[in-house]
Amino acid sequence: MEAISLYELNLHIRSAIDRSFPEPQLITAEIASCDVKKHCYLTLVDKEDETVRAEIRAVIWANRYKAISKIFEEATGTQISKGIKILFEAEISFHERYGLKLNILNIDPSYTIGEMAVKRKAVLERLSKEGLIKKNKELVFPLVPQRIGIISSSTAAGYEDLMTHLVNNPYGYKFRCRVYEAIMQGDNADASIVNALNQCSSDALNLDIVVIVRGGGGQVDLHCFDSYDIGKSIALLPLPVISGIGHQRDITVVDEVSSRTAKTPTAVADMIITHVKDFEDRLDALNYYMVHGTYKLSTEMEGELSSLVKALEVATGNELLNNFHSLNLYVKGIKYSLKLLQNKRHQLKAGESNIHFLNPRNVLKRGYSITYNNGTAVRAISDIKQGDSLKTVLYDGEVTSRVEGKKKIRRKA
Amino acid sequence: MKDKPKYSDAIEEIESIVEEIEGETVDVDVLTEKVKRATYLIKLCKRKLRETDKEVKNILKEFERAEDKTTLD
């Protein structure tokens, strides 16, 4: 057999491949590595149960990469990056010196969207099966979320937005924020966010809630927010989480697992501020009902008190007691007046019953009688003498009688 | 008074006081005490919303002094 040169061999291979694949081919594969220099160099793999059964190098030339990546990111909300599955159209090219390489001409984002959805669904099902999916939602959301753990990259625009809104809230509420730095995109994001969540967990006693906000700006790498590990860490966190990872598409695993979700970091800030405002409104309402109730109670006793209650209303309503001591005075004033009124009321009540008893008819009813001698009521023994004819008036009649005898009783004074 | 009264504890107490007042079942003496207590809690909560930890602690001290005085009456 005659020997051929390596070059001749590679020319044969090239022509064999060209004959086998005269047209571009549609292929599905997972990106194992992605390196964007001028061109985008990829390693593509095909896995069966996590074992790589096929691998090949691929390239997206710079002139196509810009358009392809833009369309892809807009449609999927994620970058062309490691771990993503793609369906693409490629030329199978073999170069005598550089070997076999796929030249990617187009990527169909809808396949990746579907794959991500499948993966997300699987993660959600697993979290659900493990009883984790609702855990964070079931935590009691604090009345006043004032101490906030922020998981973000502190240099990111989204973090700035959140802080600016919290600090400049129109009601003057004070929030105590602590940042837990994390990488919010790329290969290391997963572990970094889990680590930040663990730190929040250790600080749980000093925090009311945890907020996860993404960098913002043009970055669109949502891939990591579908991670099982992050989902599990959120589920096991003893603090409610608000996710504000800012995207318009399907919700991510992080959104599903978090206690609450907002579209943007600014919306997260608004959600928190509104929550605190709701609490303050409740305080104001209670204050109103208390003042009103006190007013009602006291006006029932006497109208004279209303001015004092109004003073209380002014003191509690607007400035909410600028001066605690002056409130004390008001309260004492009211207390004193109410006491006085209550005493008066008691006296009045007692007076009323006296009047009732003093009505002669009522006295007669109870068994007493009035005796008249010549039309004058008999008050003392000296008013009568033996043989007098007396008229005795009872409750329901009169008796006439004659005096047969009398006896004076000496009473002690 | 605890060093850091929880908002939830405070509002619960205020609510029960207001309920009693609205139910008109309170005695005059108790009424004024309760109005005073609820007003104190409302004011405390409102200030806590707007102050730093340190400021809140100072206010609490201030309140405690005022409370001590009033309970002597």
Domain residue extents for chain B? 7-72
A87-91, A289-293, A399-403, B56-60, range with greatest mean pLDDT: A87-91
Structural domain boundaries enclosing A336: 279-357
The answer as to whether A392 is a domain residue is: yes
Band the pLDDT of B1: cuts 50, 70, 90. very low
What pLDDT does B33 receive? 84
Same-domain status, A46 and A67? yes
What is the C-alpha to C-alpha distance for residues A396 and A146, in angstroms, rounded to an integer? 80
Which helix (H) or strand (E) segment holds residue A33: the answer is: strand A25-36
* Residues A133-153 pLDDT 10s: 999 999 999 999 999 999 998
Band the pLDDT of A300: cuts 50, 70, 90. low
In chain A, pLDDT over 70 holds for what percent of residues?
80
Q: Looking at the predicted structure, is the pLDDT value of residue A211 above 70?
A: yes
| A-interface mutation test, from B27, B30, B31, B63, most A Cβ less than 10 A away | B31
Amino acid residing at A188: N
> Mean pLDDT, to the nearest integer, of A262-268?
90
Higher pLDDT, residue B55 or A252: A252
What pLDDT does A312 receive? 66
Q: Cβ separation of A335 and B42 shorter than 8 Å?
A: no
What is the C-alpha to C-alpha distance for residues A276 and A270, in angstroms, rounded to an integer? 10
The answer as to whether A341 is a domain residue is: yes
Dihedral of alpha carbons B1, B2, B6, B7, sign: positive
Full strand arrangement of the beta sheet holding A241-244: A176-181, A147-152, A209-213, A241-244, A260-261
In chain A, pLDDT over 90 holds for what percent of residues?
51
Q: Looking at the predicted structure, is the pLDDT value of residue A217 above 80?
A: no
What pLDDT does A171 receive? 92
Query: Residues near A181 by Cβ (< 8 Å), separated by ≥ 6?
Result: A152, A153, A154, A196
Number of domains in chain A: 4
Dihedral of alpha carbons A95, A98, A100, A101, sign: negative
Q: Is A8 touching B (CB cutoff 8 A)?
A: no
* Residues A167-176 pLDDT 10s: 999 999 999 9
Same-domain status, A338 and A251? no
- In eight-state DSSP terms, residue A387 is T
Q: Which of residues 121-180 of A touch B (CB under 8 A)?
A: 142-144, 146, 171-174, 176
User: CATH number for the domain including A24?
Assistant: 2.40.50.140
A23-27, A311-315, A371-375, range with greatest mean pLDDT: A23-27
- State which of A87, A119, A151 marks the end of a domain: A119
Q: Which of residues 29-68 of B touch A (CB under 8 A)?
A: 29, 31-32, 35-36, 38-40, 42-43, 45-46, 48-53, 62-63, 66
Same-domain status, A269 and A284? no
Question: What is the least distance, in Å, from the CA of A282 to any CA of chain B?
Answer: 9
Band the pLDDT of B11: cuts 50, 70, 90. very high
